[in-house]
Structure 1
Amino acid sequence: MYQRILVPVDHSDTSAAALQEAKRLAGEQRAVLRLIHVIDLAQFAWSANEFLDVPQLQASLRVGGQALLDSRAEELRALGLTVDVALLEIWGGQIARTIVDEGEKWHAELLVMGTHGYGGLTHLLLGSVAEGVLRYAKTPVLLVRAPEHVA
């Protein structure tokens, strides 16, 4: 039985599917959910910053990330679940390591996150945050794929 479930969230379908599974588990087990969103403040600082307002873009990432967390948490709280949120900022670091470190710091008993399940060249080029979490995590990790969309 898991009492503390950490869920990284973003705007993807896979993240939404993972949150649905975490919601189900938390409801069944009366667990506390901690939603996190990781933003990389360095992503604009290293490219063509003479054409971009980097501080404004970074502020936008913060506002958007917090809005996402607040929206997801409000939905879960309306269902009677206990939820807290954390917006995590990194500067060009590893997102996977940041997720695992937060799980350890918060004493998570389970990490639930989405995965695209990419293979081949796409995986080689993009890497996988989920794979990194699996590599570093000492606690159980539940990976959830989004349902396939039929065209």
Structure 2
Amino acid sequence: MYQRILAPIDGSGTAQRAFEFALQAARENGAELIPLYVVEVPIAAYQAPGFNPAIVRDTLFEEGERLKAETLAAMQRENVKGEPYVVETAVPGGDIAECILEQARANHCDLVVMGTHGRRGVRRLMLGSVAERFLRMAFCPVLLIPGSVEGAAPAAAAAPSQTEKEPS
């Protein structure tokens, strides 16, 4: 059903749950999986007097490379094809959702699986939501995986696989 699945990763538990679901979907569909880490250096790093924003940038790239290696290892264990990427927003403080959209288009993805923290009210207003922004711009189906929810099934077991049958 799906040929190319993009899964944004950021090191959070929520993104990890989404990646695990995307990994399962890629394995079951014989699809290529593209984990994506976006480096976005906050504008504040450039405005702090006497601070070198390259330190933040380098740290974020190191984290991206670590996550890239971890996702690639998981993909190899599951025999899932694809290549993880680490990319940077076009400008400091750039829009992560737009960067994800650009990569989804460039890689001809037909599904994006991403985590959502499910923030509401003032927290959502203050912190924003990459998932919500991306969803409003998306050109292909988007599967949002919630962060850990009390009493919910793990992401990998949230839906029956194509080979399993639902009980009658």
How high is the TM-score relative to the length of structure 1? 0.91
Aligned to 1:12: 12
**Alignment gaps of 5+ in structure 1:** none
Contact 1:77-1:83 at 8 Å conserved across structures: no
Letter in 2 for 1:18: A
Cα distance in 2 for partners of 1:145, 1:67 equals 23
Scaled by the length of structure 2, the TM-score of the pair is 0.83
Asked if 1:140 is matched to 2:164, the reply is no
Q: Which amino acid aligns with 2:9?
A: V
Count, aligned residues: 149
1:107 partnered with 2:124: no
Match of 1:48 in 2: 48
Q: What's the CA shift string for 1:27-73, capped at 9, x where partnerless?
A: 110100001100113445333141x3322321121111111111111
After the TM superposition, list the runs of 4 or more consecutive aligned residues in structure 1 that deviate by more than 4 angstroms.
none
Name which of structure 1's ranges 41-50 and 93-102 shifts more when overlaid on structure 2: 41-50
Any idea what the Cα deviations from partners look like across 1:93-135, whole Å, max 9, x if unmatched? 1101110111011100000000011111101111110011111
Query: Equivalent residues in 2 for 1:23-102 (5 A)?
Result: 23-50=23-50, 52-90=51-89, 91=91, 92-102=93-103
Give how far 1:8 is off.
0.3
Amino acid at match of 2:46: W
SS, match of residue 25 in structure 1: helix
Percentage identity across aligned positions?
Answer: 34
Residues 46, 52 of structure 2: 8 Å contact kept: no
Alignment RMSD: 1.5
